[in-house]
Structure 1
C-alpha cells in the first residue's frame, strides 16, 4: 500500500513537472508577444501583429482613417478666415499675417518630403501616433502665443506635423486587398477634402461669435480625439525596409521620380489636374463677383458646398475604379474634365447654370482621377508606397502653385474666357500624357501599347482568400 502511494505521488510529481515545463515556454512566448508603442505603451491585443493571420481591414477602420484625416488636414486651413482677426490682435499688416497660410502649406510640403516617407522605414502605428501628438503640442502653442513671429514659426511646424493623411493613405493601400484598394483610398481622399471645407466653415462661424483662440482650443480637442481613435484602430505592422537608412529613403525618391514611367506619367497628369482645379476656384470669385452676376461673398462661398457633392461621391466611384484597369479609370474622369472645361469656356460668363454644372462636374472628375492615379502609383512597388505617394503629392503642390499664378495672370489680362481656355488646354495636356502609354504596358515601358486594350480588371485568385473591407 505504501509502495503504491509512493509510486502514485512520484507519477503526480512527474506530471506536475511536465505540465510546468511545457507551460513555461508557452508563457514566455506570450510574454514575448506583448507589443508596446514607444517601448512602454501597450498595444491593444486585437491590434497586435500576428504573422500567421491576415490583417483585417474593415469598413469601420477605413471610415475611422477617413474621419481622422478630415480633422488633421483641417489644421492647415483654420487660419484662412481668421486673418483679419489675427492682424488686429497682433498689430501687424495684412501682408505680414497673410504669410501664415503660406507657411502652413510650406510646412506641409516639407512634412510630405521629410516625414511621410518614413512610412517605408519605420512601423506606421508609432509614426502616426507620434506626428499627431506633436501636432497637438504645436497647435496648443498657436492657441496661447502672444507673438506674431512665434505664431508664424509655429504655423510652419504645424504644417510639418500635419502629414498623418499622407501616412494613412499608403498604409490603407497596404492593408486593403487589391480588389478594394481604390475604395479604401477614396474614403481617405474624401475625408481630406471634407477637412478643407469643415475647417473654413467652423473657423468662420467661431470667428464671427468669439475670439480666434477658441478655434485652436477646439482644434486641440479634436486632435486629441484623433490620437485616441488612432490608438484604438491602427493595427501594429512591421517596418518594410529595415535594411535602408533615412538618407537612402530620401535619395531613393529621386531615383523613383526619374526611373518609373507610371509615376512620371501620373505626376505630370496630377500637375495638370491641380493646375485646372486651382484655375477654376481662383477665377470663380472674380467671375461670380463681376458682371453679369454681382454675387455677394456669402453666395460665392456657398459654391464650395455645391462642389462637395462631387467629393461625397468619391467612395462610390472608388468601388467602380476597383473593377476597371487603372488606365481607363484615369481616362474617364480626364475626358469628362475636358468636356466640363469646354462648357466653362463657352458659357461661364453667360449663364449661371453652366458654372454650377462645371463646379459639380470638376469636383467629381477630380475625386475619381486622384484616386485612380494613387491606385496606379501604389501598384508600382508595395515596399515603396510612402515614397511614391510623397512624389505624387509634391506634384500636386507644383500644379497648384503654377495653376494659381497662371490663372490669375491670364484672367486679369484677358478675362474669364481666356482663363477657361487655359483650363481646357491643361485637360488636353493630361489626355496627351495618358495616351503616351497604353493600359497594359510593362513596368518600364515608356511609350507605346502592349497586352491589348481590355478595360475590366481581372481578379486574381489570391484575392479571393484575402479579407474584404
Structure 2
C-alpha cells in the first residue's frame, strides 16, 4: 500500500511538471516524440512571434495573398503587377498635363485672358515639385502600400472640384493640390526596385518609366481630342474615373511590404536631412543627376519646338502633326524591351550606349528636320527609345548606392529631371525666338554632348562599397569594369543558399525591410500576385 501511494505521488509529480513545462520544453518534447519530425531549433521555439499587419489603416482588410510575413514565400514581381505599376504611373502623372492643350477653352470658360489662365500649368508643376521633395521620401519611412492608397485617393478626390467649379481661384488652388499629390510614380519606382529580383530590376523600372512617358504624351492627346468635340470638363471627369480605377488596382494588387528603416530612429526630419546629404556626398548620384539634367533639357526642348519647325517648313496639317505624339508612344512602348538589354549590361555601359545613341539621333533631327519627314520620324522614335534607356540605366545604378534609401535617392534624381524640363523649355524659348530653329536644334544637341562628357569624367565602379565619404573619388577611371551581370547573379544565387544572419529570423526581417526582398528569383515557391 505504501509502495502504491509512493508510485501515485511520483506519477502526480511528473504530471505537474509536464503541465508546468514551458512552451519551448513542450515543443521540444512533442517534436522528439515523433520519429518522423525534425526537432525545432531553440530560436524557432523560444522566439516570440511578431504581429504583422493584416489591415490598412487599422480597419481595411488587406487581401491575404498581399499580406507580408517573413515565413511566407517572397512576393513574385510578375508581369501583371509590373503592368499595374505602369498603368498607375501613366494615369496619375497625366494629371500634370491635361490642362496644357485646353488652356484656350479654360480661358473662355472662366472669361479671363490667356496670360492669366497660363498660371494653371505653372501651379501644377510647382505642386508636383513640392510633392517630390516632401512626399516621395516617405517611401523610406512608411509602408508603401498605405502611402499609395492615400495619395491616389487624395488625387482622385481633389480632381473633382476641377471638373465642377466655376471659380478661377478654386481651379488654381486645386490645380496646385492635385500636382502636390500626383507623385505616385515616385513611390512605385523604388518599390519596383525592392520587389524585382536584381537580374530583372532594369526591366521592372523600364515599365514604370514607360508609364511616366506615356502619361505625358497620352494626357495631351486625350485632352486635345475631348476638348475638340465636347466640354473641357469631360477631361477631368475621365481623369476621376481613371484614377478611381488606379485606386482599386492598387488595393487589389499592391503587396504590403514592411516599412524601411524600422528601429533605426529615423524620423521625417532625418529623412529630409539625409536626402540633402546624399545630394552632395554621393558621386554616383550627382553624376547621374547631371546627366539626367542634360537629357531632360534636351528632350523637353526638342518636343516643344521641333513640331513648330515641321509645321512651318514641311507644311503638314495640324492633325497630322498631332500624330507625332502617337509615334512618340510607339517609341516609349519599345522601352521595356530595352530594359531587358540593360539587365544584361553593366548599368554604366548601358548609360554610355544611351548617350551615344541620343547624340546620333539628335544629329539626324538637326540635319533632317525641314528636309525629310522620314528623318523626323526616325529621330522621334530613336530619341524616345534611348532617352528611356538612359533614364532607366541611371536609376538602376543609383538604386544600388543604398537600398534602404532608394526613395530619397529617387527623389533627388527625379527633381533634376524636373529642373531639366524647366531649363530646356526656358532656354529653348529664348534661343528659338531670338536666333531661330537651327540654333535651338544645335542647343539640344549640345545638351546631349553634355551628357556623355559628364558620364566619361567618372568611370564605373571607381569606389568599392563602403568607401568613406571623404575618400570617394569624383573624377577618374579604375579599369573598364566589364564584368557581366550574369556572373554576379550566379554568385548571388550561390550565396542565397547559405544560411543568413546565423538563423535569426528577426535579423532577416530587419534586413528585408531596410533593403530589398530576398530571393525573389524564379523558384516556384514565390507568392504569385
Aligned length: 459
Q: 2: CA distance between counterparts of 1:205 and 1:432?
A: 41
Distance 1:463-1:175 versus aligned 2 partners, 3 A rule: farther
364-373 or 457-466, larger mean C-alpha shift: 457-466
2:118 matched residue in structure 1: 98
Deviation at 1:191, TM superposition (A): 1.2
Q: 1: CA distance between counterparts of 2:483 and 2:305?
A: 36
Note if contact 1:57-1:468 (Cα within 8 Å) is conserved in structure 2: no
2:181 matched residue in structure 1: 161
Residue 192 of structure 1, aligned match among 187, 202, 212 = 212
2:478 matched residue in structure 1: 450
1:84 matched residue in structure 2: 104
1:459 aligns with 2:457: no
Q: 1: CA distance between counterparts of 2:352 and 2:483?
A: 11
1:420 aligns with 2:441: yes
Unaligned ranges ≥5, structure 1? 1-9
Unaligned ranges ≥5, structure 2? 1-11, 28-44, 465-471, 497-518, 523-529
Note if contact 1:180-1:468 (Cα within 8 Å) is conserved in structure 2: no
Stretches of 4+ aligned residues off by more than 6 angstroms: none
1:332 matched residue in structure 2: 353
| Structural mapping, 1:233-252, within 5 Å | 233-242=253-262, 243-252=265-274
405-414 or 132-141, larger mean C-alpha shift: 405-414
Residue 68 of structure 2, aligned match among 40, 49, 56 = 49
Note if contact 1:328-1:455 (Cα within 8 Å) is conserved in structure 2: no
Q: 2: CA distance between counterparts of 1:463 and 1:78?
A: 46
Give secondary structure in 2 for the equivalent of 1:440. coil
1:68 aligns with 2:66: no
Deviation at 1:214, TM superposition (A): 2.0
Note if contact 2:195-2:520 (Cα within 8 Å) is conserved in structure 1: no
1:3 matched residue in structure 2: none
Residue 400 of structure 1, aligned match among 421, 425, 431 = 421
Deviation at 1:156, TM superposition (A): 0.5
Offset from partner CA, 1:235-289 (integer Å, 9 cap, x none): 1111112321111111111110100000000000001001110121121122112
Note if contact 1:330-1:372 (Cα within 8 Å) is conserved in structure 2: yes
Q: 2: CA distance between counterparts of 1:296 and 1:149?
A: 36
Deviation at 1:31, TM superposition (A): 11
Q: 2: CA distance between counterparts of 1:217 and 1:223?
A: 10
1:142 matched residue in structure 2: 162
Offset from partner CA, 1:385-413 (integer Å, 9 cap, x none): 00111101110111111111112222222
Q: 2: CA distance between counterparts of 1:409 and 1:456?
A: 44
Give secondary structure in 1 for the equivalent of 2:236. helix
Q: 1: CA distance between counterparts of 2:225 and 2:424?
A: 29
Offset from partner CA, 1:214-240 (integer Å, 9 cap, x none): 221221121111111101111111111
Q: 2: CA distance between counterparts of 1:95 and 1:468?
A: 54
Distance 1:305-1:146 versus aligned 2 partners, 3 A rule: same
1:5 matched residue in structure 2: none
Distance 1:34-1:167 versus aligned 2 partners, 3 A rule: closer
Residue 437 of structure 1, aligned match among 437, 452, 458 = 458
Deviation at 1:343, TM superposition (A): 2.1
Deviation at 1:34, TM superposition (A): 5.2
1:391 matched residue in structure 2: 412
Give secondary structure in 1 for the equivalent of 2:431. helix
Offset from partner CA, 1:27-52 (integer Å, 9 cap, x none): xx999445211111111111111113
Give secondary structure in 2 for the equivalent of 1:244. coil
Distance 1:455-1:410 versus aligned 2 partners, 3 A rule: farther
Give secondary structure in 2 for the equivalent of 1:313. helix
Q: 2: CA distance between counterparts of 1:182 and 1:304?
A: 25
Deviation at 1:350, TM superposition (A): 2.3
Query: Could you tell me the TM-score, scaled by structure 1's length?
Result: 0.91
